[in-house]
Structure formats: structure tokens, C-alpha cells
């Protein structure tokens, strides 16, 4: 009886440790409340982005209106400047015309005075000699008929030329006075135009400055609004990534739960079969010595790598940190990492996390993503499977993460962050993943 029970126990142990791979430890299982809260936050961010997009559209339209207004005011200012320059030129020409007319009027006045003076002298002399024009006394003293005729012709010529000259000078004086009056009127009108143009220029310049100030203020407000929108959009991307990550965790947990259930059912079935076989089996001879255990199958090793990486979620990022045995102090980089104090933190960088994860499966990677890129077989990105390393940058030297499946990965992202699950980012990604197991 004892021999039969021992044989049954051995058979049961063999059945339970058969070729079926054991289900790994359970992955995280976010609650429904966590997933709902994450979705609500993402929806709120999306609504906020929509609101900001609408406001930004209105702001940009207003900005264009103000820009058009500035252009219009600038053209008005240009017009005012042209009108002002024209008015100044007209006023200057009117001043020159008035000065010329005044000069002509002054000259005509002097000529009239001189003609009057000469005529007065002639009349006075004729009166003193009793030889005025039309008087018979002007002919007394003539010594011959020729002298008498000469006196008559002289008196007639003097009288006629003096009177004609006086009449012409008087006409010239009147014309000059009229010209001077017209020039003064033109000058007054030109000066009034200049004054009006000067005021229009001042008003136009002020309006242009006001329009430019309004445009600058709107441009500043629009830029601030656009910056806010960009910030909220980044928050939306992060929120959606969080939702995707939690949903992926839930799917992964559900898959694990299904696998665990199948494992338990299979174990129960095999246990029943083993018990039945043990009951019917004859006494077994002593079992020979068991050979050494074979290496774990690749699927189990992949799950070990994934589990080790996932177990480090929440560990702080430290540039240069991490090795085959766990997180370590970071190192100085003389730049960004130092500004975050990474050299004072105990954590992982991206390649350090890969070192720790794969060391659990007996694979010891170097601490550089570029070398890790060449540590295994290259597989097209479209064929990547859980446990593959994903790389970014030339030769994979920028960043590395571990693919989990379902479009998700685990990574140590950057200074200031922690080890986390994230959706796969395709910007700058290498076209091949590296499969080590």
C-alpha cells in the first residue's frame, strides 16, 4: 500500500510539472474606479482643448481684423503725410507769389509818385513862365515862325507823354494791387490747408499708433492662448496615455486570469488522471535517479524578464543608474541629469532597466542602448512580440524600452520621471526590434 501511494505521488508530481508553462505572477489590476476617473480626466481635457481651439480661432480672426485695421490706418497716415507735404508746397508757392505781387505793387506806387512829381514840376514851371498847356503865353517870345512851331510841338509832346505815362502807371498800380490781394488770399487758403493737413497728419499718426498697440496686445493674448492650448493638449495626450495604460493593464490582467483559470482546470484534470492511473498501476520499482533539470523554455524566460521590469514600476529615473542586480546611484552628466540631481538618486536609466530585467533570464547586457540594440536578433517592428527591446535614435543609441504586447511598453523614460508603462511611441523609432530570447 505504501509503495502504491508513493508511486501515485511521483506520478502526480510528474503530471503537475509537465510541459505546460506555469502562469506567471499576476500583473497589476487597476480598479474600475481608477479607469473611470482616468477616462473622465481625459474627456475633461478633450473638452478643454475644444474650448481653447474655438477661442483661439476667434482670437486669430480678431488678430487678422486688427492687422487689417493697422494697414488701413497706416495708409491713412501715408495720405495725411502726402496732403501735408502738398499743403506746405502750396503755402510756400503762395508766399512767393504774394511777395512778388507786393514788390510789383511797390514799384508801381513809386513810378506813380515820380510821374506825378515830374508833372507837378512841369505844370509849376509852365505856370511860372505863363506857358501852360493851352495858354497863349507859352508862345510869347518866339523869334520866328519855326520857333513858334517848335514850341507848340514840344508842349504837345510833353503834355501827351506825361499824361499817358501817368495813366499807364496808374493802371499798372491797380493791376499790381489786385495781384497782391489775390496772392494774399491764396496764401491764406494755403496756410489754412497746411494747418488742416498738419492736424490730419497728427490724428492719423495717433490712430496708427493706437491700431499698432491694439494689434500687439491681441497678438500677445493670442500667443498666450495658443501656449495654454498647447499645454492642455500635452496634458490630454498624457491623460489618454494613462487611460490606454490602465486599460492595457486590465486586459493583461484579464488574460492572466484566463490563463490562471485554464492552468487550474488543467492541473485538476491531470491530478484526477494521475490519481486514477496510480490506483490501477502495479507496484513500481524504485525510480532511477532524475537527470539534471533542462533549461526553462523561452516563453517562461520572456515572462521572467517582463515581470522583473514591471516590478520596478515607480522606481525613480537616475541617469547611469541600474545594473544586473537592481537600481544604483546615477552618475553625473554635466547637464540635464545633473540639474535633476540624478547622481544623488538610486534608480534606473533606460538601458540599466534592461540590464536588470534580462539578468533574471541569464542574459547579461551592457549598460548602453546602442550595444543592446546589437545584442540579439533583429526583427521587423511590425512583428515585435512581448519581451522584445524597442529602440530609438541612430543605432538605437537614444532610448530603449521593453515591449509588453498590446501596443504597450515598460521604460525608464527621462530625468524627473519614474519607471512606467507607456504606449509605444513611433516618432524616431528604429525599424527593427531586438529579440534576445
Q: Which of 92, 191, 399, 414 is catalytic?
A: 399
Give the strands of the sheet with 408-411, arranged side by side. Answer: 377-380, 432-435, 389-392, 399-405, 408-411, 420-423
Rounded Cα–Cα distance for residues 75 and 180 (Å): 38
For this structure, is 411 an active site residue? yes
Q: Which of 90, 97, 242, 411 is catalytic?
A: 411
All residues at 6 or more sequence positions from 8 whose CB lies less than 8 Å from its CB, including other chains: 274, 275, 277, 278, 279, 281
For this structure, is 146 an active site residue? no
3-state DSSP call for residue 249?
Answer: helix
Rounded Cα–Cα distance for residues 120 and 163 (Å): 11
Buried b (16+ CB within 10 A) or exposed e, 243-276: bbbbbbbbebeeebeeeeeeeeeeeeebeeebee
* Residue 331 and residue 324 in contact, taking contact as beta carbons nearer than 8 Å: no
Q: Which of 266, 350, 367, 414 is catalytic?
A: 350
Q: Quickly list DSSP for 57-125.
A: HHHHHHHHHHHHHHHHHHHHHHHHHHHHHHHHHHHHHHHHHHHHHHHHHHHHHHHHHHHHHHHHHHHHH
Known catalytic residues?
350, 399, 411
Amino acid at each position: 500500500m505504501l509503495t502504491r501511494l508513493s508511486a501515485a505521488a511521483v506520478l502526480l508530481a510528474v503530471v503537475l510539472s509537465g510541459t505546460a508553462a506555469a502562469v506567471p505572477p499576476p500583473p497589476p489590476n487597476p480598479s474600475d474606479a481608477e479607469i473611470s476617473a482616468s477616462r473622465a480626466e481625459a474627456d475633461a481635457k478633450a473638452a478643454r482643448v475644444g474650448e481653447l481651439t474655438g477661442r483661439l480661432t476667434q482670437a486669430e480672426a480678431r488678430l487678422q481684423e486688427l492687422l487689417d485695421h493697422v494697414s488701413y490706418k497706416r495708409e491713412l497716415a501715408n495720405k495725411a503725410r502726402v496732403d501735408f507735404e502738398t499743403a506746405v508746397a502750396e503755402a510756400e508757392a503762395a508766399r512767393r507769389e504774394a511777395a512778388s505781387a507786393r514788390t510789383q505793387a511797390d514799384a508801381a506806387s513809386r513810378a506813380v509818385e515820380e510821374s506825378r512829381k515830374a508833372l507837378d514840376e512841369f505844370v509849376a514851371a509852365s505856370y511860372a513862365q505863363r506857358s501852360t498847356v493851352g495858354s497863349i503865353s507859352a508862345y510869347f517870345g518866339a523869334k520866328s515862325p519855326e520857333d513858334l512851331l517848335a514850341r507848340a510841338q514840344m508842349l504837345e509832346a510833353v503834355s501827351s507823354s506825361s499824361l499817358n505815362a501817368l495813366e499807364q502807371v496808374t493802371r499798372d498800380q491797380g493791376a499790381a494791387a489786385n495781384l497782391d490781394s489775390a496772392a494774399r488770399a491764396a496764401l491764406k487758403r494755403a496756410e489754412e490747408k497746411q494747418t488742416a493737413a498738419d492736424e490730419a497728419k497728427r490724428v492719423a499718426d495717433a490712430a496708427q499708433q493706437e491700431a499698432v498697440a491694439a494689434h500687439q496686445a491681441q497678438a500677445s493674448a493670442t500667443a498666450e492662448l495658443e501656449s495654454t492650448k498647447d499645454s492642455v493638449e500635452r496634458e490630454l495626450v498624457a491623460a489618454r496615455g494613462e487611460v490606454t495604460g490602465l486599460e492595457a493593464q486590465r486586459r493583461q490582467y484579464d488574460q492572466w486570469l484566463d490563463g490562471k483559470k485554464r492552468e487550474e482546470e488543467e492541473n485538476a484534470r491531470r491530478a484526477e488522471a494521475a490519481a486514477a492511473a496510480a490506483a490501477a498501476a502495479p507496484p513500481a520499482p524504485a525510480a532511477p535517479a532524475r537527470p539534471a533539470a533542462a533549461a526553462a523554455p523561452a516563453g517562461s524566460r520572456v515572462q521572467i524578464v517582463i515581470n522583473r521590469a514591471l516590478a520596478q514600476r515607480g522606481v525613480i529615473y537616475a541617469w547611469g543608474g541600474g545594473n544586473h542586480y537592481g537600481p544604483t546611484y546615477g552618475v553625473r552628466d554635466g547637464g540635464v541629469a545633473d540639474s535633476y540631481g540624478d547622481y544623488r538618486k538610486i534608480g534606473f536609466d533606460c538601458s540599466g532597466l534592461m540590464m536588470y530585467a534580462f539578468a533574471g533570464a541569464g542574459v547579461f547586457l551592457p549598460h548602453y542602448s546602442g550595444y543592446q540594440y546589437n545584442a540579439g536578433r533583429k526583427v521587423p517592428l511590425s512583428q515585435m512580440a512581448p519581451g522584445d527591446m524597442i529602440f530609438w535614435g541612430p543605432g538605437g543609441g537614444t532610448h530603449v524600452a521593453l515591449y509588453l504586447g498590446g501596443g504597450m511598453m515598460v521604460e525608464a523614460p527621462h530625468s524627473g520621471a519614474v519607471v512606467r508603462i507607456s504606449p509605444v511611441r513611433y516618432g524616431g523609432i528604429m525599424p527593427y526590434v531586438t529579440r534576445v530570447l
